[in-house]
A = this chain, B = another copy of it.
């Protein structure tokens, strides 16, 4: 195996081990030694690939955001009416929420760190604004086409994001008997109805 390939592999193993540990036990409770052990790498090896524990965390965050990017941009390329687009979005999000169990701890970890760590905050807020703007432009399109009432797109986009965040957290922390997929659909439907022009 080439040197490059071997290096990349161990880097991936470290990232994987970190992901698993951070989401299971949290950032602070996870020691660099733990990650090293699970990845089968020594401490020296770890610090060869990452300058610090924080840098590893940010790398993880960016991987996560990139995956989100892919999912969301897949939506915007279509050219369908706003109503349909938002319904697609909900349909896409529903299964994600239903299986939110493993995702949530990591999600919370990111936000929690972002609230205090300037670097993490910067890495989080930029894509967040991008996603919100995507929603806003979809809504704006809906307003212009007359499907929606004359609402403020930015505000309503914030509402959509709020629904997403809130549902994700609830689904993750409260695996009740609730059907989270169905719940997501119903709620989105209701919000959409609130956006729509009343047919007279």
Contacts and interface: CB of A to CB of B under 8 A. Distances in A.
Contacts of A125: 173-174
Contacts of A29: 28, 116
Interface stretch (A10-18, A40-48, A103-111): A103-111
Contacts of A195: 190, 194
A129 B177 CA distance: 13
Interface range on chain A (Cβ under 8 Å from partner): 35 or more
Majority SS of interface residues in chain A? helix
Interface stretch (A49-57, A66-74, A81-89, A162-170): A162-170
A165 B155 contact: no
A61 interface: no
- Copies of this protein chain in the complex: 2
A39 interface: no
Contact of A183 (B121, B155, B173, B174): B155
Among A124, A129, A163, max chain B CB count under 10 A is at A163
B115 A186 contact: no
Contact of A116 (B26, B155, B158, B174): B26
Nearest to A24: B116
Contact of A151 (B115, B116, B186, B198): B186
A191 B182 CA distance: 18
A138 to B, nearest CB: 15
17 contacts: A25-B116, A105-B116, A115-B172, A128-B174, A154-B178, A156-B186, A158-B178, A159-B190, A161-B166, A162-B167, A163-B163, A164-B166, A165-B165, A189-B194, A191-B191, A191-B194, A194-B195
Nearest 4 pairs of A and B residues by beta carbon: A162-B166, A194-B194, A159-B187, A28-B28
